[in-house]
Amino acid sequence: MKSAMTKIVAAISYIFLIFIPSVVLGDLRTDILRNAAKEFIYNTVPFETRTDVKKVKLGEKLFNDKNLSLNGDIACASCHIDKFGSADGLPNSIGVGGKGVGVERIKSGGVIVPRNSLPLWGRAEEDFKVFFWDGKVEKREDTLISQFGRQSPSTNPLIVAIHLPFVELREMIIDTDVVNTTLKSETVESASKIYYTLLERINNNQNYRSAFIDAYNIKPSELEFIHIADSNAQFIQDKFRIRASKFENFVTRKSNLSSSEIQGGLIFFGKGKCVSCHNGKHYSDFEFHAIPFPQIGFGKNGFGVDYGRFNVTHDPKDLYKFRTPPLTNVENTAPYGHSGSAQTLKEAIIYHIDPLRLLKTQQMSAIERNEYYRKLLASNNILLKTSFLDDNEIHQLVQFLKTLSFD
Amino acid sequence: MNIKLGSIFVIGLSATYILGMFSTNLKKEIVKTYYETEYSNYVFKCDQVMREHFVAKQMVATSPNDDNVSLLVQAEIGLIDCQDYDLLRKKLLSYGLEESDLSEMGLKAIELKAKDIRKVVEIHEIRYD
């Protein structure tokens, strides 16, 4: 009898042995993840957003207004669309001449902008200092660096960045003969001609004109292009401000994560080494790295080549490097990479750690492969840094990335 | 581990206990077979993160800079995989396996990799005599 009792007790303790460690371990993991988040992500003082309702309203109107493209039929909102997390859901953007969204837009025959559209979350925050895939607008130690040089229209990098789409050929301007001869140089002078023309359009529109004068409290003669850009920035600041993500709510103990999300988080901060580049509140170090994403489309340098940061610095060390993209709301901004060559988050991760797995090398031309070897060699940093991850771990990482969203 | 399978396993295990008709050896074999894949997976993962942790430590020792220190912190977080391995070891010991059984399972895990070599030798009919 006594021995039967001991056996029952033993049986019960087996059951506990299976469950108790997972509870204890669960706590340990949660704590490690919360501490890592505080060390690598939420390590700055929160930034206070202040916007002016009137300016925001004006900016919103302009963001959607096709009249603000010189000779095209396109607005900011054509490529920065809510449904796609403020990107456009396409691998390469379709600029002037494009109609509709998604596949429809590809078929409409507009000109192709050889980069993947970027979302606008958090772009107005003080600590967001490097803009575009190649960082062609950036603020380093209070100096603003851009193609405007010393004639920079502003010291706020977002406001400078907003100046560019208006004057970028293909993006918001068709290169007709007239544009070719007078404006194509993409110089500061040709840009100011375009700004002047657009400003005239605002001036000739009584509604806009009085709204600007009222919102900025200026005399009619004082209205400048910078006011247009500023209202756009105010709108971006208001609409695309960063709110608490599921992950942030977990860190501040307002909610929990599933065990596979936690597991994915531990890989992100741990052996995946993701946080060595995707760090800070925006999940970007605002530095430039080469990652072996394949190139699709024509490429900024043509014939399927995009040299990335090199185009800005002309330093051979910068070949194939791109700004680490922020990951806020990343689940909604597919496709991924500077040319949109990764369809899903899973593919985007695999291109970091095991690119040959997805690459159909037999179907590539010899030139494409040759180009890819260069990129692969330039990517030694990422390939040496991250661990092997199995498919289950990649899945957990994807689950974690989805917690960086907010509604 | 699949929860449903897990509970069937636990209930089965306890039931056999209560009935008192369980030979220690048979039980051991069942436990070993059931956990073989999971165990060898943990052996591999823990080994991997320990190697990487060692390299990360050496990186800090040879070129101490902020980036390398940060990578070492990440490698330390990566060591959590060894915690899984450790807990599974403890669980298996409590099921009646002995250290020698665990060593055997570990060796088997390493063998999995060694088998690759045998396959290559077989496929290419490499002969050494």
With a threshold of 0.85, tell me whether the complex ipTM lies above it.
Answer: no
A278: helix, coil or strand?
Answer: coil
Contacts of A273 in chain B (CB under 8 A): 71, 74
**CA A98 – CA A172 distance, rounded (Å):** 10
Instruction: Write out the two tokens for A293.
Output: 């994403």
B-interface mutation test, from A273, A275, A278, A392, most B Cβ less than 10 A away: A273
State the pTM of this model: 0.88
CB contact under 8 A, A271 and B6: no
**CA A222 – CA A212 distance, rounded (Å):** 10
**pLDDT tens-digit map of B20-77:** 555 777 888 888 889 988 998 899 999 999 999 999 999 999 999 999 999 999 999 9
Task: Read off φ and ψ for residue B103, nearest 5 degrees.
Answer: -60, -40
Contacts of A40 in chain B (CB under 8 A): 70
Q: How far is CA A313 from CA A301, A318, A380, in A?
A: 14, 7, 20
Task: Please say whether the beta carbons of A204 and A96 come within 8 A.
Answer: no
The nearest CA of chain A is from the CA of B90 a distance in Å of 10
**CA B56 – CA A251 distance, rounded (Å):** 27
**Would you state the CATH architecture of domain A24-46+244-402?**
Orthogonal Bundle (1.10)
Task: Please say whether the beta carbons of B112 and B36 come within 8 A.
Answer: no
**pLDDT tens-digit map of A197-250:** 999 999 999 999 999 999 999 999 999 999 999 999 999 999 999 999 999 999
**pLDDT tens-digit map of A124-133:** 999 999 999 9
List the single residue in A28, A40, A388 with the smallest CB-CB distance to B48.
A388
Q: Tell me, what's the pLDDT at A10?
A: 53
Q: At residue A212, what is the residue type?
A: F
Helix axes B3-19, B24-62, angle to 10 degrees: 140
The yes-or-no verdict on residue A2 having pLDDT over 60 is: no
Query: A24-46+244-402 and A53-239: same fold?
Result: yes
Q: CB of A11 within 8 Å of any CB in chain B?
A: yes
With CA atoms as reference, report the closest residue to A327 among A261, A253, A398, A387. A398
* Domain limits, chain A: 24-46+244-402, 53-239
**CA B16 – CA B26 distance, rounded (Å):** 11
B-interface mutation test, from A268, A271, A381, A385, most B Cβ less than 10 A away: A271
Which helix (H) or strand (E) segment holds residue B24: the answer is helix B24-62
Q: CA torsion sign, A305 to A118 to A72 to A228?
A: negative
* Superfamily of chain region A53-239: Cytochrome c-like domain (1.10.760.10)
The yes-or-no verdict on residue B126 having pLDDT over 60 is: no
List the single residue in B17, B75, B77 with the smallest CB-CB distance to A11.
B17
Least confident of A70-84, A107-121, A281-295, B111-125: B111-125
List the single residue in B20, B83, B94 with the smallest CB-CB distance to A25.
B83
Nearest CA in chain B to A5: B18
Q: CB of B73 within 8 Å of any CB in chain A?
A: yes
